[in-house]
Amino acid sequence: MPAAGAGSLGTRSPREETTKLVRVLITSGFRLMAESVAAKLVGVNGMAVSPCCGDFGEVARAILRRPPDLLLLDVYHDRNAALDLAVELRLKLPGLKILILGIGNTRDAVRCVEAACSGFTLVDCSLDELHDAIARVLRGEEVYPDPSRMDPTAPR
């Protein structure tokens, strides 16, 4: 029988005992997108990722009841409502880290900055870029991609 801490079932190493699980919530108007991104991020760098879909009012109430460490907020489906939600949450939960997903134009990028979000990703963001952006935000950095990658006339 293996000794406790030597890989036996039901035991944890001292490192696991002190590692804090990072709670990440991803919300999107597209359930498939939220669930797919959540599935790709589960377990990466100690993250527990939950997808959340539905009305932004319901999402806000859930977040206010139990704030995550990081909110990934997809704006592609309804950017105005999503960015309004970001402003509301930052006013009520000033310490909440919010990373906006899917910015495509400079106008919306400016709204992210004005909402005091932790940063944003562009519509053409890769999974590797998302991993990097999340890690940077969790370290307390802001993530603002190169604006030359955006089309200033794009509606999204």
- Residue range 75-123, pLDDT digits in tens: 877 888 889 999 999 999 999 999 999 988 888 888 889 888 999 999 8
pLDDT at 151: 67
Please write the tens of the pLDDT for every residue from 111-151: 889 888 999 999 889 999 999 999 999 999 999 998 777 76
Q: Minimum mean pLDDT among 14-28, 42-56, 123-137: which range?
A: 14-28
Per the rule left: phi > 0, alpha: psi between -120 and 50, beta: everything else, 144 is beta
- What is the DSSP annotation of 12-66? --HHHHHPPPEEEEEEES-HHHHHHHHHHHTTGGGEEEEEEES-HHHHHHHHHHS
CATH number of 16-144: 3.40.50.2300
Would you place residue 152 in the very low, low, confident or very high pLDDT band (cuts 50, 70, 90)? low
pLDDT at 153: 62
Q: Does residue 28 have a pLDDT over 50?
A: yes
Can you give the residue ranges of every domain in the chain? 16-144
pLDDT at 4: 39
Spatial distance between the Cα atoms of 88 and 75, rounded to a whole number of angstroms: 15
Q: Does residue 11 have a pLDDT over 70?
A: no
